[in-house]
Amino acid sequence: MKAVHTELHRSHDPQFFLVRGVVKRTTEQPERADRLLKGLKDGKHQLVEPTEFGQGPRARIHSPEYLSFLSEAWDAWTALGDAGPEMIGNVHPVRHAATYPTHIVGKLGWHTADTAAPIGPGTWAAACAATDVAVTAAQMVMDGEDAVYALCRPPGHHAYRDMAGGFCFLNNSAIAAAHLRLKHERVVILDVDVHHGNGTQGIFYARPDVYTVSIHADPVAYYPYVWGYAHERGEGAGLGANLNIPLPIGTGDDGYMQAMEIARKAIESFAPGALVIALGLDASEHDPLKGLAVTTPGFRRIGQAIAKLGLPTVFVQEGGYLSDILGANLTSVLAGFEEVR
């Protein structure tokens, strides 16, 4: 399996992470990509540089005002003269009878769901490069590759149409799915990250053409807390095109594979033409965020189950944080896929 990657991700190097009132260094560090690259090397995957697709694929998913905000945010922030080294909102309006702000501090709050998406001088460039990685992988699959892996950083599945959050700015998985829609009538996004793909769900919630499925730690006690419950099934034309499978904290391999079987049946009933895997590796038993307890052999089983769906597949990297086993888990899930396909 070929893998798409760019070193441009390094321009995004966030520092701030607020955990239960304590400021820590974020777990979404450039070193994540280094460990994932080692996993690709160990699996003997060929690396491919992305093609620049420009703003078009991003504009299919994200609003014009949001893209404008992200592209101009850092310059507006530094022009304040007394601002900090990263952009972190101090107001998050709930948008009830609200007016879109003109001041950069107001825009920052409007366009961020939480404090876990600090914007720095290179964030926009890195986020755009990540979308090019995802779209390149999708295009390669559309051109005949059976499956391609996209090493996207920063990740994307918590990003809404016009709102960043949870380390995410542009929704790489959603952008890949929208690109696949240029060829396929129906596409599925299967999110196996330990966190619910709330941004992806929000983007497609009223659409019947992209079926969003998320297997994740139960949000009753885990981020994002207010999205990801089983009763969230879509709305309007998209009613029934969203499936959430929340798992008890600490669920291991066998419980996870039971959820994969539920997902398989639902995906096959939808009869898609292509599949996007929002590949979080943070369901690992060794991940620092401690939500689920999937082993390295368990990730191989997940890869095998994905392969059995028999669909053209784009793997888009989401979570998976700094642990000694991160690269091995990537090697394992891709190897499991290749064993079947």
Which sign, positive or negative, has the C-alpha torsion 273, 132, 305, 283?
Answer: negative
| Cα dist from 319 to 64, 80, 93, 139, 208, whole Å | 26, 33, 27, 23, 26
Identified catalytic residue from 158, 184, 196, 216 = 158
| Cα dist from 88 to 14, 58, 67, 233, whole Å | 11, 23, 17, 32
Alpha helices in 6-82 (DSSP H): 31-42, 56-59, 64-78
**238 near 267, Cβ under 8 Å?**
no
- Picking from 27, 28, 29, 36, the residue whose alpha carbon sits closest to that of residue 5 is 36
Q: Is 94 exposed, middle or buried (0-12, 13-18, 19+ CB in 10 A)?
A: exposed
Q: For 162, which DSSP code?
A: S
Which residues, other chains included, contact 283 with Cβ-Cβ below 8 Å and sequence gap of 6+? 192, 193, 194, 217, 256, 291, 292, 293, 294
Q: For 110, which DSSP code?
A: H
Token duo for residue 183: 């060829």
Active site residue 158: yes
**253 near 301, Cβ under 8 Å?**
yes
Parallel, antiparallel or unpaired: strands 22-25 and 242-247? unpaired
- Picking from 223, 193, 195, 168, the residue whose alpha carbon sits closest to that of residue 14 is 168
Residue type, 91: V
State phi, psi for 217 to the nearest 5 degrees.
Answer: -65, 140
Q: Which residues are catalytic?
A: 158
